[in-house]
Amino acid sequence: MEINFALGLPRDRLSVPVVRRITSDALRVLGADETCVMAIEVAVTEACSNVLKHAASDDDYSVHVGIDDTTATIEVIDTGRGFDGAELGRADAEPTAERGRGIQLMRALVDIVRFESRPEKGTVVHLEQSLTFVAGSAMQRLKSGSGKRCLDDDDGSDLDGGLDLDAASSGNGNSNAARRLEFLAERPL
């Protein structure tokens, strides 16, 4: 079982908390241990912040997240000029330094940090973190197939927000289902 998603973002400071929140919420919903979630939150924040600091002002960037039952893999990809990240963050920053600790933080928090510089095409920051999940987590249930394969759960909770999606697809075909799914997407969580 693997969950993958990608975000295409403008180089804007408001994008950083969006990436952090979507990534951490996905991990929490799947039942990842909170220590893992917090480490990934800080590392992805630092990686995205580096894009804002170092990529050209008109460059967009993307974040690709993959989560399986053992590992979270995150790639932050910008289209800037690229750089040599092999030695960055390996030496301690000066104690009085106000900047330059982001790569050091990433290296301290997650298992693997790699940089792929593509001169004049940008940089890929690759982060990997081993995951542990709380007992009975959604990830464990999805992996084992013990979750129900329908929208109504045994405990009476209605996972589809009260809509009968089977009925929605009858009648006018997919157009009714599409309207109902749009309605669900617009509802606050």
pLDDT for the residue 119: 72
Cβ-based neighbours of 89, under 8 Å, separated by 6 or more: 102, 103, 104, 106, 107, 113
pLDDT for the residue 179: 52
At 173, is the pLDDT very low, low, confident or very high (cuts 50, 70, 90)?
very low
pLDDT for the residue 94: 64
**Residue 166, pLDDT above cutoff 50:** no
- DSSP label of 32: B
d(CA 115, CA 118): 10
Task: Assign a CATH topology to domain 2-130.
Answer: Heat Shock Protein 90 (3.30.565)
Residue whose structure tokens are 């290296």 = 107
The tens digit of pLDDT for each residue in 25-49 reads 999 999 999 999 999 999 999 999 9
The tens digit of pLDDT for each residue in 104-125 reads 889 899 999 999 887 777 789 9
Domain parsing of the chain, residue ranges: 2-130, 148-186
Average pLDDT, the chain: 78
The tens digit of pLDDT for each residue in 1-22 reads 899 999 999 989 999 999 999 9
**Residue 162, pLDDT above cutoff 60:** no
Cβ-based neighbours of 103, under 8 Å, separated by 6 or more: 46, 50, 85, 88, 89, 113
pLDDT for the residue 169: 40
On whether the pTM is more than 0.95, the answer is no
Q: Give the mean pLDDT of 162-182.
A: 46
The tens digit of pLDDT for each residue in 59-112 reads 789 999 999 999 999 999 987 765 555 545 455 666 666 666 788 889 899 999
